[in-house]
Amino acid sequence: MVDANSTVRPAPALLPALGAMTSLQALVALALFAPGVVAPRAHIEVWQLSMFSCAVFAVGIPASFWGGGFIARLGSLRIASLCAAAIVVSMALASLGTTAALLAAGLCLGLAFGPETPASAALLSRLVTAERRAFVFSVRQTGNQIGAVCGSLALPAIAISLGPAWCYAAVGACALLAILLFERLRPAYAGKAAPLPELNLRARLALVTADRRIAMLALASMPFSAMQVSLNTVFVTLGTRELGLSHIEAGMALACAQAGGLVGRLGWGFVAMRLNASRAVLVVIGLGMAFCAALLGLEGASLGRTWQFAMAALFGLTASGWNGVFVAEIARLAPQDRIGEATGAVLTASYAGLLAAPALISILDAAASLGAAFVALACLALCGTLALIWGSHDKTGQ
């Protein structure tokens, strides 16, 4: 890969690349959350927000699946620049304020959402030792929380004082500054340009199916992602409707979950690094999120406020904390010259979970309750965890 060879010069420094790729994820998260944050002031309906999110994920799936191969030709930081450019265009479209423009903004943002993680994995994997990989990748994954927190604090104030269009302009301006950063760093991290790899579907799927350990990672990522997006999107509704929380208390509980997710992304990465056991850590995380979802779904209303908040924090620690260890494990198992492609192919399954979760939740909520929906998600997460355990005994060895 273009980011995986440097035989005639020492590897460049890790921290600038880590900072750049963390910033890229923060930008994507900031753009993804922007319409929801400004919705009250911009008069955006819930169905329009759902349409925007589905558009992002629908494009993000093929963009991740196919985009990984272009890293070999263009380099990770050039891909990062293109992702930032897609964010600029997306925010410009969203600022128009119409339903069609918001749909187009989501489709455009998917072009950034899909390739950014494969590009980061390809770059960082060659700059970090195997022992530190899980922690470094977990640090990179905190970009999602950084973007969400920054958006939650800054964008409402901008929307109230200047108007929603200025919120989108602020995100676009940040993306333009990021392009300057990525292009300034790019020469130091560029390698030899490689021809575009084979792009047919069979070649892509072979990266996943050739190693059972990778295939089971892809399978487990679907319910894990579904659990994560459900926690982020409907937990407040679960709290107010079925856990007996007020709107403010439910928001505070979700804040506890987000804080747990931030701690989890760093903490699980540190544990995986110290124990050199990323897959075992993922198994523990899977069991933890299944337990939390099942308990809250079945007995959440009977828990006291203190235990409800504690369970929310533990839920976030697991359901929002697994991503960095997961990507690090892909990078460990994938062919070292095709890490970007393999990451993109595996994340296709993960993004499919993001896309399917809202429909699953809606169906189960209508048929039974939100609590029952979380119990079902717990069962699926448990199945994904069992797949991880089974996949750890691949005949090819560790």
CA 19 to chain centre: 17
* Helix ranges (DSSP H) in the chain: 14-42, 46-67, 71-74, 76-94, 99-113, 116-124, 133-141, 143-161, 164-189, 201-209, 212-242, 247-275, 278-299, 305-319, 323-333, 339-367, 370-391
| Residues 205 and 183 occupy one common structural domain | no
> Of the residues 142, 165, 189, which one is the last residue of a structural domain?
189
What's the pLDDT at 192? 54
Please give the chain's pLDDT, 398 residues, in tens: 444 444 445 557 889 999 999 999 999 989 988 887 787 788 877 678 778 888 888 898 888 877 766 777 788 899 999 999 999 999 999 999 899 999 999 999 999 998 898 888 888 888 888 788 888 888 888 888 788 778 877 888 888 889 889 999 999 999 999 999 999 999 888 765 455 555 556 666 777 777 888 899 999 999 999 999 888 778 878 888 889 888 778 878 887 888 888 899 889 989 998 888 889 999 999 999 999 999 999 998 889 899 999 999 999 999 988 988 998 888 888 887 777 778 878 888 888 888 888 788 888 888 888 899 999 999 999 999 999 998 776 544 44
Report which residue type is found at 156. P
- Domain coverage including residue 107: 14-189
Residue whose C-alpha is closest to residue 191's, from 34, 49, 9: 9
Please report whether residue 162 resides in a domain.
Answer: yes
Same domain, 167 and 220: no
Q: Within 13 A of 136's CA, how many CA atoms are on the CB side?
A: 25
Neighbours of 367 (CB within 10 A): 9
Choosing from 157, 189, 221, the residue where a domain stops is 189
30 with 63, same domain: the answer is yes
Q: What is the CATH number of the domain that holds 41?
A: 1.20.1250.20
Does residue 369 share a domain with residue 223? Answer: yes
The last residue of one of the domains, among 146, 163, 189, is 189
Angle formed by the axes of helices 212-242 and 339-367, nearest 10°: 30
pTM above 0.85, yes or no: no
User: Do 177 and 246 fall within a single domain?
Assistant: no
- Picking from 338, 305, 382, 32, the residue whose alpha carbon sits closest to that of residue 198 is 338
- Residue 169 shares a structural domain with residue 219: no
160 plus 307 within the same structural domain: no
Count up the domains in the chain and report the number. 2
Q: How far apart are CA 97 and CA 38, in angstroms?
A: 11
Query: Quick check: is 368 in a domain?
Result: yes
Within 8 A by CB and 6+ apart from 161, the residues are none
Shared-domain flag, residues 244 and 350: yes
First to last CA, the chain: 23
Phi/psi for 23 (5° steps) reads -65, -40
Which tokens in the block code for residue 342? Answer: 């393999």
Degrees, nearest 5: CA angle 347-270-282: 45
Is residue 172 located within the same domain as residue 291?
no
E strand or H helix at 7: none
Burial of 286 (0-12, 13-18, 19+ CB in 10 A): buried
pLDDT score at 11: 57
User: Is 244 buried (19+), middle (13-18) or exposed (0-12) by CB count in 10 A?
Assistant: middle
Same structural domain for residues 33 and 157?
yes
Q: Are residues 298 and 178 in the same domain?
A: no
Q: What is the pLDDT of residue 199?
A: 52
pLDDT digits (tens, 9 = 90+) for 208-232: 777 888 899 999 999 999 999 888 7
205, 274: one domain: yes
